[in-house]
Amino acid sequence: MHTPMISMVFFLIAALLGAIGQYLYKSGADAATGGALSYVANPRLLAGVVCYVGVMTLFVAAFKRGGSMAVLYPIYASTFVFAAIISSIAFATPIKPVHVAGMGLLFTGMFLMGR
């Protein structure tokens, strides 16, 4: 089964949105005071939820246009790379050589799964 390029683009955008959602969850959790209202009324946490609704919407749109889960889901694994980059920028989390090696393996796996 051929996977349309637009489906792959949708999954790549979903991966970026997923990483942004993870950042928003982390920064929202850091800002929360622990009470229920600090979670429910937290703009960052709510924005994270919106990101994940966007991710699911893009998943559905991609699958509607056709394509293999075996091709599309490895593309979504790039979420981990985007999250590491965002974390490095936002929280000064170091990206070590072992992390870069892991990212390389992710991309190698995505390439191989897409063949």
Q: CA 51, CA 43: separation in Å to the nearest integer?
A: 12
Number of domains in the chain: 1
Whether 1 has a pLDDT exceeding 70, the answer reads no
96: left (phi > 0), else alpha (psi -120 to 50), else beta? beta
One-letter amino acid at 66 equals: G
- CB neighbours of residue 27 within 10 Å: 17
CB contact at 8 A, 8 and 75? yes
Average pLDDT, the chain: 92
Whether 63 has a pLDDT exceeding 90, the answer reads yes
Residue 16 is predicted with a pLDDT of 97
One-letter amino acid at 108 equals: T
Whether 113 has a pLDDT exceeding 90, the answer reads no
Q: The pTM is what?
A: 0.89
Q: CA 46, CA 62: separation in Å to the nearest integer?
A: 24
Predicted confidence band of residue 59 (pLDDT cuts 50, 70, 90) = very high
Whether 109 has a pLDDT exceeding 90, the answer reads no
Q: The domain containing residue 16 runs over which residues?
A: 5-114
CB contact at 8 A, 17 and 51? yes
Whether 96 has a pLDDT exceeding 70, the answer reads yes
Chain segment 26-54, per-residue pLDDT in tens: 999 999 988 888 888 999 999 999 999 99
